[in-house]
Structure 1
Amino acid sequence: MSDYSDKYETVIGLEVHAQLATASKLFCGDATSFGAAPNTQVSPITLGHPGTLPKTNRLAVEYAIRMGIACNCTITQNNYFARKNYFYPDLPKGYQTSQHTTPVCDGGRVLIKSGNDSRFIRLNRIHLEEDAGKSIHDMDEVYTCIDYNRAGTPLIEIVTEPDLHTADEAYQYVTEIRRLVRWLGICDGNMEEGSLRCDANVSIRLKGEQKLGTKVEVKNLNSIRNVKKAIEFEVVRMIELVESGGTVKQETRSFDAATDTTFAIREKEEANDYRYFPEPDLAPFMLSDAFVEGIKKSLPPLPEQLLQQYQQQYGLSEYDAAQLCMDKETADYYNAVTAISNNYKAAANWITGPIRQYINENKLDFGNFPLTPQQLAGLLQLVDEGSVGFSAAATKILPELIKHRDADALQVATAQNLLQVSDSGELELWVNQALSNMPDKVTEYKKGKKGLIGLFVGEVKKLSKGKADPKLVTGLLQEKLK
């Protein structure tokens, strides 16, 4: 396709559904655990039997508010649920209980970084609703099978304004939403299991045009990669269609991850008539100022707060701070180490360097990493004092500390004879020996080849079997080579 980036503007709005990590469903006590045998986590309330009465899950409301506060939303104090009426096989009641005119969280914004730029994506709303069940089309040759385990699971739907303009921005936005829901502990963010799902509304318009173009909705994107690929494909498809004289139809499409293409499911009318009305079986609920304020005070420091703290108070680079704030477990671990050790930069280097390498290689995370913050702080102190070198600490002491939670760095360094010698008399003997072993190199150094200092340090390291303090050795060598 020719480059039409100067001619057309892409407009994207995203709807992200996050399953809330409550133990029970939104309106009854049925379990919500993933992977249970089909139709074993259901009850008459889930199945919508006549005469059953739902009851609102308080924790689900709290989780929705947590997300709203993190996204700078206005919390709606007077709330009620509504019936969204439509028929679908995996919707056992014939309607979905959702929120319509009173979303629990109104407005808001989410900060994203795309390339070197940062900007806020405006939110329209965050509202609570129940999930539908699951239709399974490939289990039986003739019939579609229905699993109602998921029906009634609490969701928040996070709806943006049409504020995104590239597939990369959409990628960054969903990445940030996933980080936030995990950070707040309200959703595991596992897109492969359906805990987080995204619908993308995509349209194009001529640059400078104010009116939105006809939108296409791509449903149920179950990975961040698929969000990006689906939008990229749709933009190209729509531009090629318009450029060839065609017209974009308002329709719902699905994404084929095998070919990175989308395909039409159904055409969509301008507006669906869901015949919303207040749910008569559920009482409205009011959120007091004290209730909302209590939730606000219970929130952990958010990524943006820690990014500023790490840079302004701890002197870290923007890159190091961002690496530490990739997820809450990493930030919590770093905070625990720096509560003991004030070597903020060294702690960051160890956590983003050898420790993260170990974690990645062993498919762990900081939530189940065996090295305690106290052990790492002790190792940092040994290196700071010059008692051991970084290489020996990373390759020899660190693995032992990981294996033995009750060991400390000094014990391991002593047992392995790794403590560096700083006694000037002993160091001088090794330095003299190294220089006498390489008289020709000494002559070259004195003629101006100052880079040879590393060779002499290496020789001392070999003679001392790694026990000589390299900083002191370098100083001694420079003094003797004057």
Structure 2
Amino acid sequence: MSAYGDYEPVIGLEVHAQLLTHTKAFCACATSFGDPPNTHTCPVCLGLPGALPVLNAEAVRMAVHASLAFGCAIQAKSVFARKNYFYPDLPKGYQISQFDLPIALDGALEVEVEGGGKRRVGIRRVHMEEDAGKNLHGIGTSSVVDLNRAGTPLVEIVSEPDLRSGNESAEYLRRLREILMFVGVNDGNLEQGSFRCDANVSIRKVGETRLGTRVELKNINSFRFVAEAIDVEIRRQINLVERGDRVRQQTRGYNAEKRESYLLRDKESESDYRYFPEPDLPPLVVDEAYVQSAKSSLPELPADKRRRWVEELSLSPYAAGVLSAHPAIARFFDEARALYADAVKLANFVQSEVLRDVRTTGLEAQIPVSPAQVAEILRLVDEGTISGKQAKELYAAVAGTGRSPAEVARERGMAVMSDASAIESIARAVIEANPKQVASYRAGKTALLGFFVGQIMKQTKGSANPATVNEVLARLLGEGGAAS
């Protein structure tokens, strides 16, 4: 039974991802974000008469790399077209895009679905295009336009209608975004609009194969809102059909506060855009040698990395997922792993200590320690120089300093207490001070051993050797008169 009763949602996503080039798709204007309005414009991106576009070769390289990472087939010839529509943020009156001959076809992604299992989501096409500018409303009593973004290179990634819920759609977007980031072609920033999504949503009765009338949800800017907006729209369509109305083909927005979609306009058809080949750009030809070179330079993709970490390094799927959430964090772990053999201990330490201090911005990450410092801290624990608790203290001491952990440990007088006689003296005092717990332990509640270990660690400020502590306690607590 579907989660939506007698109805099955059918969902396809169109993702617009800004390519991380320094200049625009067809001119030399900068693509930097947050600069004063209308300072990155020229006759080409403003569409002034006589100004001719020139294709950005770096944008082509990034589009090819992204397409290959999705398993798409790169087309030997693709053609740019003019997509004609009028809107104030489109200075030429048309958008240069690709229509019937895109740069790549027929890819796929695998996503996890509710209840376990995986779903293969087809990627119908990847095509290159330029972005529009940005309309800003409510500036005083006016609406204004910033054309800095006009002409920024994008890839549009169009999925097949293979998704069946809002949560599946959000998971697909996460996997898509991480691939783009690991390949280094997109910074994944939803707030700045460099990764944004339109969702095509329709419903049909369970068991039917014919597609229903689709509604497009525009520019949803978070994974949570994608899942929420799609679910809200599915239920809106079901309510319409259940009361005898029909679903109209529309473009709708989503109001997160009201948890409802709202009409923007009746949906245009492809013919409304009057596509025709861009007369000022020749066909884009990508030969096989270029494709093979691009394939050979692709980095390890996140799903492959997670699989390798689980199978070869014995990491848990959860740990592998956390450490591959950002390319800079994954790179940090791999570099530390090259310096320290125990991947599981390393993964646990990075997750528990390092990640809480990491700050990510786009593809960059501020990590307060180096892989070498983390590896050195863990080696000090393995050698018995410091305890596990002291490792946390030492991490805090070296974070942001670049200093050698061994040197800082010596300065601070950090050392594991391994003297069995000294530990035994403390243990006897702890046992004597807690007769009720001793009696319960000896009556069979052996889990209380942890209580005694904790008391000794507290008194030694975490410096006691855990193995020695356990050995001493087991002996003393097993002796009926140990506390006398």
Instruction: Give the 3-state SS of the residue equivalent to 1:135 in structure 2.
Output: strand
Asked whether the 8 Å contact 2:184–2:363 carries over to 1, the reply is: no
Q: Unaligned stretches of 5+ in structure 2?
A: 480-484
Asked whether the 8 Å contact 1:219–1:253 carries over to 2, the reply is: yes
Match of 2:482? none
Asked whether the 8 Å contact 2:15–2:157 carries over to 1, the reply is: yes
Asked whether the 8 Å contact 1:387–1:469 carries over to 2, the reply is: no
CA deviation vs aligned residue, 1:269-302 (integer Å, no higher than 9, x gap): 5543333222221122221222122222222211
CA displacement at 1:18 relative to structure 2: 0.8
**Equivalences for 1:200-279 in 2 at 5 Å?**
200-268=199-267, 271-279=270-278
**Equivalences for 1:63-462 in 2 at 5 Å?**
63-115=62-114, 116-141=116-141, 143-268=142-267, 271-359=270-358, 367-394=365-392, 396-408=393-405, 410-431=406-427, 434=430, 445-461=441-457
Asked whether the 8 Å contact 2:88–2:145 carries over to 1, the reply is: yes
The CA distance in 2 between the partners of 1:249 and 1:27, in whole Å, is 37
Asked whether the 8 Å contact 1:15–1:157 carries over to 2, the reply is: yes
CA deviation vs aligned residue, 1:370-400 (integer Å, no higher than 9, x gap): 2011110011112223332222221x21110
The CA distance in 2 between the partners of 1:436 and 1:444, in whole Å, is 14
CA deviation vs aligned residue, 1:300-331 (integer Å, no higher than 9, x gap): 21111111110111011111111111111111
Percent identity reads: 41
The CA distance in 1 between the partners of 2:224 and 2:189, in whole Å, is 13
The CA distance in 1 between the partners of 2:461 and 2:135, in whole Å, is 67
Bigger shift: 210-219 or 81-90?
A: 81-90
- Amino acid aligned to 1:129: E
Bigger shift: 85-94 or 346-355?
A: 85-94
CA displacement at 1:203 relative to structure 2: 0.7
- Amino acid aligned to 2:127: H
Asked whether the 8 Å contact 1:330–1:366 carries over to 2, the reply is: no
Asked whether the 8 Å contact 2:187–2:362 carries over to 1, the reply is: no
CA deviation vs aligned residue, 1:168-207 (integer Å, no higher than 9, x gap): 1111111222222222221112122111121111111111
Asked whether the 8 Å contact 1:198–1:219 carries over to 2, the reply is: yes
- Amino acid aligned to 2:370: T
Q: Number of matched residues?
A: 476
Q: Give the 3 Å change call, closer, same or farther, for CA 47–352 of structure 1 in structure 2.
A: same
- Amino acid aligned to 1:104: I
Instruction: Give the 3-state SS of the residue equivalent to 2:358 in structure 1.
Output: helix
CA deviation vs aligned residue, 1:129-175 (integer Å, no higher than 9, x gap): 0111222232252x532222111110100001111110111111112
Match of 1:11? 10
The CA distance in 1 between the partners of 2:325 and 2:174, in whole Å, is 10
| Normalised TM-score (structure 2) | 0.92
Q: Give the 3 Å change call, closer, same or farther, for CA 443–229 of structure 1 in structure 2.
A: closer
Q: Give the 3 Å change call, closer, same or farther, for CA 471–292 of structure 1 in structure 2.
A: same
The CA distance in 2 between the partners of 1:363 and 1:326, in whole Å, is 13
Bigger shift: 413-422 or 349-358?
A: 413-422
Q: Give the 3 Å change call, closer, same or farther, for CA 458–7 of structure 1 in structure 2.
A: closer
CA displacement at 1:99 relative to structure 2: 0.8
Asked whether the 8 Å contact 2:427–2:456 carries over to 1, the reply is: yes
The CA distance in 2 between the partners of 1:230 and 1:442, in whole Å, is 58
Q: Give the 3 Å change call, closer, same or farther, for CA 133–403 of structure 1 in structure 2.
A: closer
CA displacement at 1:432 relative to structure 2: 5.1
The CA distance in 2 between the partners of 1:255 and 1:401, in whole Å, is 47
The CA distance in 1 between the partners of 2:391 and 2:187, in whole Å, is 35
The CA distance in 1 between the partners of 2:258 and 2:421, in whole Å, is 70
The CA distance in 1 between the partners of 2:460 and 2:347, in whole Å, is 30
Q: Give the 3 Å change call, closer, same or farther, for CA 202–447 of structure 1 in structure 2.
A: closer
Bigger shift: 433-442 or 57-66?
A: 433-442
Q: Give the 3 Å change call, closer, same or farther, for CA 440–38 of structure 1 in structure 2.
A: closer
CA displacement at 1:463 relative to structure 2: 5.3
The CA distance in 2 between the partners of 1:441 and 1:251, in whole Å, is 70
Q: Let me know the Cα RMSD of the aligned residues.
A: 2.4
Bigger shift: 288-297 or 97-106?
A: 288-297
Asked whether the 8 Å contact 1:73–1:106 carries over to 2, the reply is: yes
| Normalised TM-score (structure 1) | 0.92
Q: Give the 3 Å change call, closer, same or farther, for CA 401–4 of structure 1 in structure 2.
A: closer
Asked whether the 8 Å contact 1:32–1:153 carries over to 2, the reply is: yes
Bigger shift: 236-245 or 422-431?
A: 422-431
Bigger shift: 24-33 or 272-281?
A: 272-281
Bigger shift: 97-106 or 223-232?
A: 223-232
Instruction: Give the 3-state SS of the residue equivalent to 2:354 in structure 1.
Output: helix
The CA distance in 2 between the partners of 1:444 and 1:153, in whole Å, is 71
Match of 2:51? 52
- Amino acid aligned to 2:18: Q
Instruction: Give the 3-state SS of the residue equivalent to 2:272 in structure 1.
Output: coil
CA displacement at 1:455 relative to structure 2: 4.2
The CA distance in 2 between the partners of 1:74 and 1:336, in whole Å, is 33
Asked whether the 8 Å contact 1:359–1:365 carries over to 2, the reply is: no
